[in-house]
Amino acid sequence: MTAYQALINTARLQKGEKVLIHSAAGSTGQVAIWIAKLIGAEIFATVGVDDKKQLLINKFGIAADHIFYSRDTSFAKGVMRVIGSVGVDVVLNSLSGEMMQATWDCIAPYGRFIEIGKMDIGANAALPMGRFAKNVSFCALDLLHISQTNLGLTRQLIQSVMSLIAEGHAASPAPLHVYPLKDVEKAFRYMQSGKNTGRIIIDIDRQEVVPRLIRKKSTWRFDPQGSYVVVGGFGGLGRVILLWMVDKGAKYLIVPSRSGASSQAALDVISKVQRKGGQVVAPRCNVGSATELAALLQDCSNDIEMPPIKGCINSALDLQDAIFEGMTHTQWERSMRSKVDSSWNLHQQLPQDMDFLILLSSLAGIYGSPAQSNYAGGCTFQDALARYRTAICVGKTSVSLDLGWMRDAGIVAEREEYRRNRTNARDMNPVDAADLIAVLEVYCDPNLVIAGQKSQLLVVMTALIGRLARALGVAAEDIDERRPLSDYGVDSLMAVELRNWVRRDFSATVAVFEIVGSGASIAAIGALVVEKTEDIRAV
């Protein structure tokens, strides 16, 4: 369909015209050759290796002096040498960078240049304008966009191509490389090898057993000889956290709150924790007061003789919703200070060698939330505090979790007016308690260390080089981080794979052009990934 739309509908290729088809041994290239032969055009083609050249000679009868190599720009001189200085009438291009520029120089007056590649378009590359003085056309073709936006044209293309096949004017690209679903990675590796010809097919058999990579289940446990502080632990979300912690091995839980264990919900969760073998200390303490917190920590250390504090989760909040113009100073202070003062005091007074300090913040601190400017300000402070602690290397793990609204636990789940407002809003997605616990499973792990930038770069570079080594079938030691990826044959397809891997494993968005189009070294790409990851944390 791509070849038909390009040569018939867009370029309107005519009998006797000269057409240059890049990557001609591939599936699109072979179909383009069939169409060009049917029209009666003179065909020029490029390939990457000798085997592909021989395929075009044997299958399509293309003259050897009409086939060139596209590994460098020498093909352009070869084409012009054969046809003279006029150039070709139509180009079907999938090359990028200097190869695309060299192809552009081959276009004849009134020529049509059809771009089916994505690399230069994605990189917003420049195109020399001088050629347009000779009435040439440059058209980009994206079949996916057509199929999504123009169903009539899509239907017409399918019917036209099927008619060509039915009438025997075109055949399936050859050879067909068939891989079972379990070998899908081998299929992609073959495509990336630069030696692929014809069509690659994945054969899906419902009875086939496909290997599945399962993430190893977390096996770490809280230290039974340590104490853990959960501020706001008697709230709806805090109660879920307390039960999870004791199930995960915690024995000693300190749950400070302004009112103590005065509600039935608080008494119930304490009873459940005790039945599971845990111990809860629930003193009346305003953690937003440095004096009260200091006294509590002194009591826990001396009078109650609790074990050393190993970690803390701050889930405190005091919602005082009001439109900013009508918000009182008291409302501003209560909501803001429930986040700011409690977090700062915990930072100042808790042991600096704790396994974790986790601040439960909100997306409201990023996007804002109607009638909650005070709450949003407090959340923003928590985000900044976590970054600050990481920068000065206090504790093993310091993180602020910007949550959406909690669907099945907490104030939204318990109060109808909040639930109604959140359900009607479109500013953030709901989060289930199970999702939060899954995140806490990661950040409460005592073996996790939030690394500084140098350590982050080492982690990224080790993973990046290992990924490249596996993809290229070479030893990691043979990859020089000072060289660009293009030196190792990384093409746009593998660059897309690397981009997706970086997005999945490092939550960083890197453009394909930044990976292969900029000529940057592997080390520079690693540093870019770290930088992009830092940008996300800074949001």
CATH number of the structural domain spanning residue 500 = 1.10.1200.10
For residue 202, tell me if it sits in a domain: no
The CA-atom distances, in angstroms, between 239 and each of 5, 255, 362, 411 are: 61, 10, 18, 12
For residue 122, tell me if it sits in a domain: yes
Q: Check whether residue 134 and residue 274 sit in a common domain.
A: no
pLDDT at 213: 61
Q: Check whether residue 414 and residue 519 sit in a common domain.
A: no
For residue 220, tell me if it sits in a domain: no
Q: Check whether residue 423 and residue 459 sit in a common domain.
A: no
Q: Check whether residue 339 and residue 425 sit in a common domain.
A: yes
Domain extent, residue 497, equals: 453-538
Domain finish residue from 136, 155, 174: 174
Q: Check whether residue 114 and residue 8 sit in a common domain.
A: yes
- Strand-pairing partners, residue 136, are none
Q: Check whether residue 235 and residue 348 sit in a common domain.
A: yes
Over the stretch 137-152, which tens digit does the pLDDT of each residue have?
A: 999 999 999 999 999 9
Element (H, E) at 313: strand 309-314
For residue 193, tell me if it sits in a domain: no
Query: Is this prediction's pTM over 0.75?
Result: no
Nearest to 7 by CA among 164, 194, 197: 164
For residue 222, tell me if it sits in a domain: no
> What is the count of structural domains for the chain?
3
Q: β-strand 176-180 against 137-140: which pairing, if any?
A: unpaired
Q: Check whether residue 26 and residue 86 sit in a common domain.
A: yes
For residue 281, tell me if it sits in a domain: yes
Domain finish residue from 443, 472, 498: 443
pLDDT at 80: 94
pLDDT at 513: 81
Q: Look up residue 37 and give its DSSP letter.
A: H
Nearest to 51 by CA among 188, 193, 172, 186: 193
Q: In the structure encoding, which two tokens stand for residue 380, read together?
A: 């923003």
Q: Check whether residue 384 and residue 470 sit in a common domain.
A: no
Give the length of the chain: 539
The string over 84-109, giving b where at least 16 C-beta atoms fall within 10 Å of a residue's C-beta and e elsewhere, is eeebbbbbbbbbbbebbbbbbebbbe
Contacts by 513-518, CB closer than 8 A, 24 or more apart:
513/119, 513/122, 513/123, 515/485, 515/490, 516/119, 516/484, 516/485, 516/486, 516/490, 516/491, 516/492, 517/96, 517/97, 517/119, 517/123, 517/125
How far is Cα 179 from Cα 183, in angstroms, rounded to an integer? 6
- φ, ψ (nearest 5 deg) of residue 137: -120, 140
**Parts of the chain with a pLDDT under 70:** 194, 210-218, 395, 410, 412-413, 417-428, 448-455, 534-539
Q: Which amino acid is at 334?
A: R
Q: Check whether residue 380 and residue 481 sit in a common domain.
A: no
Peptide bond into 370 cis (omega under 30): no
Q: Supply the CATH number for residue 55's domain.
A: 3.40.50.720
pLDDT at 197: 77
Q: Check whether residue 161 and residue 273 sit in a common domain.
A: no
For residue 212, tell me if it sits in a domain: no
Edge-to-edge strand order for the sheet containing 67-69?
A: 67-69, 42-47, 18-21, 88-93, 107-115, 137-140
pLDDT at 12: 97
Domain finish residue from 443, 475, 504: 443
Q: Check whether residue 317 and residue 434 sit in a common domain.
A: yes
pLDDT at 14: 97
For residue 350, tell me if it sits in a domain: yes
Q: Check whether residue 306 and residue 421 sit in a common domain.
A: yes
